[in-house]
Structure 1
Amino acid sequence: MSKKDICIIILKVVIYACTLALGVLGVSAITSCSASRDVDVVGKATIVTVDTTRINHNTYIKFPKR
Protein backbone atom coordinates (compact mmCIF):
# COMPACT_ATOMS: atom_id res chain seq x y z
CA MET A 1 0.00 0.00 0.00
CA SER A 2 1.20 3.39 -0.87
CA LYS A 3 1.20 6.44 1.33
CA LYS A 4 -1.66 7.88 -0.72
CA ASP A 5 -3.90 4.85 -0.03
CA ILE A 6 -3.21 5.06 3.70
CA CYS A 7 -4.12 8.77 3.73
CA ILE A 8 -7.38 8.03 1.90
CA ILE A 9 -8.28 5.29 4.39
CA ILE A 10 -7.50 7.56 7.36
CA LEU A 11 -9.54 10.38 5.80
CA LYS A 12 -12.51 8.02 5.25
CA VAL A 13 -12.32 6.82 8.87
CA VAL A 14 -12.30 10.42 10.13
CA ILE A 15 -15.28 11.33 7.92
CA TYR A 16 -17.22 8.24 9.09
CA ALA A 17 -16.42 9.02 12.74
CA CYS A 18 -17.55 12.66 12.34
CA THR A 19 -20.73 11.56 10.58
CA LEU A 20 -21.45 9.08 13.35
CA ALA A 21 -20.84 11.69 16.07
CA LEU A 22 -23.02 14.29 14.34
CA GLY A 23 -25.73 11.68 13.78
CA VAL A 24 -25.79 10.83 17.48
CA LEU A 25 -25.96 14.53 18.39
CA GLY A 26 -28.75 15.07 15.88
CA VAL A 27 -30.78 12.16 17.24
CA SER A 28 -30.31 13.32 20.81
CA ALA A 29 -31.33 16.86 19.84
CA ILE A 30 -34.50 15.60 18.17
CA THR A 31 -35.47 13.34 21.06
CA SER A 32 -34.78 15.95 23.72
CA CYS A 33 -37.38 18.32 22.26
CA SER A 34 -40.36 16.28 23.37
CA ALA A 35 -40.82 15.98 27.12
CA SER A 36 -43.91 15.11 29.08
CA ARG A 37 -44.73 14.66 32.73
CA ASP A 38 -47.66 13.24 34.59
CA VAL A 39 -48.63 15.55 37.44
CA ASP A 40 -51.25 14.91 40.12
CA VAL A 41 -52.33 17.88 42.22
CA VAL A 42 -54.20 17.35 45.48
CA GLY A 43 -55.45 20.20 47.61
CA LYS A 44 -58.20 21.55 49.82
CA ALA A 45 -60.36 24.57 49.14
CA THR A 46 -62.50 26.38 51.71
CA ILE A 47 -65.16 28.70 50.36
CA VAL A 48 -66.66 31.20 52.79
CA THR A 49 -69.65 33.22 51.65
CA VAL A 50 -71.69 35.92 53.33
CA ASP A 51 -75.21 36.48 52.08
CA THR A 52 -77.41 39.31 53.29
CA THR A 53 -81.03 39.10 52.31
CA ARG A 54 -83.39 41.93 53.20
CA ILE A 55 -87.10 41.50 52.86
CA ASN A 56 -89.37 44.52 53.11
CA HIS A 57 -93.06 43.75 53.44
CA ASN A 58 -95.07 46.80 52.65
CA THR A 59 -98.56 45.89 51.71
CA TYR A 60 -102.16 46.84 52.24
CA ILE A 61 -104.28 44.14 53.78
CA LYS A 62 -108.00 44.42 53.17
CA PHE A 63 -110.24 42.62 55.60
CA PRO A 64 -113.77 41.75 54.57
CA LYS A 65 -116.57 43.57 56.37
CA ARG A 66 -119.04 41.59 58.39
Structure 2
Amino acid sequence: MRVTTSKSKNSESFYITKSYTNAQGKSTSKTIRKLGTLAELSKRLGTDRDGVMAWAEEEARLETL
Protein backbone atom coordinates (compact mmCIF):
# COMPACT_ATOMS: atom_id res chain seq x y z
CA MET A 1 0.00 0.00 0.00
CA ARG A 2 1.15 3.53 -0.63
CA VAL A 3 0.00 7.09 -0.15
CA THR A 4 -1.01 9.11 -3.19
CA THR A 5 -2.01 12.74 -3.36
CA SER A 6 -4.27 14.56 -5.74
CA LYS A 7 -3.92 18.31 -6.09
CA SER A 8 -6.68 20.57 -7.34
CA LYS A 9 -6.83 24.32 -7.60
CA ASN A 10 -8.12 24.68 -4.03
CA SER A 11 -6.99 21.62 -2.08
CA GLU A 12 -4.82 18.53 -1.85
CA SER A 13 -6.33 15.14 -0.98
CA PHE A 14 -4.57 12.10 0.49
CA TYR A 15 -5.46 8.50 -0.42
CA ILE A 16 -4.19 5.01 0.40
CA THR A 17 -3.86 2.98 -2.81
CA LYS A 18 -2.95 -0.62 -3.57
CA SER A 19 -1.04 -1.63 -6.70
CA TYR A 20 -1.67 -5.03 -8.23
CA THR A 21 -1.66 -6.97 -11.51
CA ASN A 22 -5.11 -7.63 -12.99
CA ALA A 23 -6.28 -10.81 -14.76
CA GLN A 24 -4.96 -9.54 -18.11
CA GLY A 25 -1.47 -9.11 -16.63
CA LYS A 26 -1.56 -5.30 -16.59
CA SER A 27 -0.40 -3.27 -13.62
CA THR A 28 -3.18 -1.21 -12.04
CA SER A 29 -4.10 0.36 -8.72
CA LYS A 30 -7.16 0.67 -6.52
CA THR A 31 -8.03 3.36 -3.98
CA ILE A 32 -8.45 1.65 -0.62
CA ARG A 33 -9.29 4.64 1.57
CA LYS A 34 -9.57 8.42 1.34
CA LEU A 35 -7.74 9.94 4.28
CA GLY A 36 -8.95 13.52 3.74
CA THR A 37 -7.78 16.89 2.50
CA LEU A 38 -4.64 18.67 3.63
CA ALA A 39 -6.69 21.38 5.36
CA GLU A 40 -8.83 18.85 7.28
CA LEU A 41 -5.89 16.69 8.32
CA SER A 42 -3.66 19.63 9.28
CA LYS A 43 -6.39 20.97 11.53
CA ARG A 44 -7.17 17.57 13.07
CA LEU A 45 -3.52 16.55 13.60
CA GLY A 46 -2.21 20.02 14.44
CA THR A 47 0.72 19.78 12.02
CA ASP A 48 1.95 20.90 8.59
CA ARG A 49 2.06 18.99 5.28
CA ASP A 50 5.18 17.02 6.25
CA GLY A 51 3.49 15.86 9.46
CA VAL A 52 0.34 14.90 7.57
CA MET A 53 2.42 12.92 5.04
CA ALA A 54 4.26 11.09 7.84
CA TRP A 55 0.91 10.23 9.48
CA ALA A 56 -0.52 9.07 6.12
CA GLU A 57 2.48 6.82 5.45
CA GLU A 58 2.07 5.25 8.89
CA GLU A 59 -1.65 4.66 8.17
CA ALA A 60 -0.69 2.95 4.89
CA ARG A 61 1.84 0.78 6.73
CA LEU A 62 -0.81 -0.26 9.26
CA GLU A 63 -3.28 -0.98 6.45
CA THR A 64 -0.72 -3.39 4.93
CA LEU A 65 -0.42 -5.52 8.07
Same fold, judged at TM 0.5 (above): no
The two structures have a TM-score, normalised by structure 2, of 0.28
Higher strand share goes to which structure? 2
- Structure with higher Rg: it is 1
Structure ranking higher on relative contact order (CA contacts 8 Å, 6+ apart)? 2
Higher helix share goes to which structure? 1
